[in-house]
Amino acid sequence: MNSSEKRVAMALSGVFATRMLGLFMVLPVFAIYAENLEGFTPTLAGIAIGIYGLTQALFQIPLGRLSDRIGRKPIIIGGLIVFAIGSVVAALADSLTGVIIGRALQGSGAIASAVMALAADLTREEHRLKVMASIGMSIGLAFAIAIIMGPVLHSWFGVSGIFWTTAGLAALALAIIVLVVPTPITTRFHRDTEVEFNWLGRVVRHPQLLRLDLGVFVLHFVMTATMFTLPLILVKTHHFEVANHWAVYLPVMALSLVLVIPFIVIGEKKRQLKQVVIMSVLALASACLLIWWQYNNWWVLVMCLWLFFVGFNLLEASLPSLIAKFAPAAHKGTAMGVFSSAQFLGAFFGATCAGWVSENLGASHVFMLNAVLVGLWLGMVISMRQPPYLSSELLNVGPVDKSDAQALVMHLTAIRGVAEAVVIPEDGVAYLKVDQKALDRDALLDYSIEQAK
């Protein structure tokens, strides 16, 4: 990447990270805080935690497409302002209804699709995957930091202080967009990062992609349900103060990486990704079942929480990789858009159902519900096809007419390591699926107009 692309990657990763920090820091403390709010019921508290996922799922695809028409930055700036307003509303609220409105507004500032499209506008096709990988890593890091920092900030400022911090993070993200990220000279539709409405039906009906969409729904259902319920168990069963919960989350998160990183390498390099996913789902199901059974045993609870985050972090890294492997070469953006929407809907239903189950059956039964859902997911994973170990690549081939595009596809697929090629004449881009181990990259780059420059 050149210096401009590196700056874009760092800046947009920072925008994503600051926003996700704001959304997630409240998760590990809100269920306890909500008991002091007017109109409290566990079900409403669950809705307050998860409602951002519903509004995010509803608005992210439409706002991404709107950014094609009116520009990326107006959508992103407007979304961050809405996000900041929602944070202030939640900070000032003294009732659960007020917090629900604030969290719904936070999710309504759904800028993910527009940010991805902006990244595509500002980077060359050959380097875009590096930028997207940087953004993806920033999201994972933000989640880990948020889970640890939430209890710390709660002990300093209370939950209202967390919402004020979130508003400040939104202001920081705004400054990055306005002052650091350049405005693209041209804005166009990118099939690798944006959703094509005429392909939505085919992506939803794709049997392998559907398994992954349902899988990420369950994964984020279980995550938000766990983060709603766990603080209640730590405080009410083990009398462990909220301010000290970071002392559990920090070592558990850190030690989970001891297994996560090697298994990600094994899955990708040794081409054992399906086996790693099955193992991860089994770890998640076992953790949920054991917590339900032995939640009153402190050391079992902590060990199961470690096992939970091993499974969760492995799946969080592996599922997007599987989407990229199974998605049609020229329609990865649509597949990722549906996948992201399923993820946010899982967060909404997970928190809401956790609140209802806690209110009517008891907090520990949330983990039984989680175990049942993950068990059902296990059946879908076992029946999943072995993924093709192919990577997505983009090649800027310049303007071509229809007949030239067909000839170019034949030339590209004749290159060693190229398994699939789609050339869209109006895009001037070749969308490829390649075997990185076998790819003759020099031969491939001969067809790039960037290489010719």
pLDDT at 452 over 70: no
What is the average pLDDT value for the chain, to the nearest integer?
91
For the chain, what are the domain ranges? 1-194, 199-389, 391-452
> Does pTM surpass 0.85?
yes
- Contacts (Cβ under 8 Å, ≥6 apart) of 261: none
Burial environment of residue 299 by CB neighbours within 10 A (0 to 12, 13 to 18, 19 or more)? exposed
Structure tokens at 434: 């390649």
**Where is pLDDT greater, at 360 or 132?**
360
Contact yes or no for 87/163 (Cβ under 8 A): yes
Contact 119, 180 (CB under 8 A): no
- Token look-up 């967060």 returns 347
Over range 149-164, report the average pLDDT. Answer: 92
Residue 162 has φ and ψ, to the nearest 5°, of -65, -40
Share of the chain above pLDDT 90, in %: 60
3-class DSSP state of 423: strand
Q: Which of 222, 206, 201, 178 is nearest to 349 (CA)?
A: 222
pLDDT at 378: 95
Cα gap 31→231, rounded to integer Å: 7
Cα separation, 129 vs 407, in Å, equals 26
Homologous superfamily in CATH for domain 1-194: MFS general substrate transporter like domains (1.20.1250.20)
pLDDT of residue 43: 96
Q: Please report the pLDDT score of residue 451 as a whole number.
A: 56
Query: For 313-359, how does the pLDDT look when each residue is reduced to its tens digit (9 = 90+)?
Result: 999 989 998 998 998 888 888 999 999 999 999 999 999 999 999 99
Which residue in 31, 49, 100, 43 sits closest to 357, CA to CA?
43
Query: Average pLDDT of 242-260?
Result: 91
Q: What is the pLDDT of residues 55-72, one digit of tens each?
A: 999 999 999 889 988 999
Contact present, 412 and 418 (Cβ < 8 Å): yes
Which band of pLDDT confidence, cut at 50, 70 and 90, is reported for residue 380?
very high
Q: Decide if 1-194 and 199-389 have a common fold.
A: yes
Class of domain 391-452: alpha beta
CATH number of the structural domain 199-389 = 1.20.1250.20
d(CA 268, CA 274): 10
What's the per-residue H, E or C state across 223-249?
HHHHHHHHHHHHHHCCCCCHHHCHHHH
Both tokens of 283, joined, read 């770890």
**What average pLDDT score do residues 275-288 get?**
96
pLDDT at 453: 46
pLDDT digits (tens, 9 = 90+) for 182-211: 988 878 888 888 888 888 889 899 999 999
User: Rg of the Cα trace of the chain?
Assistant: 22
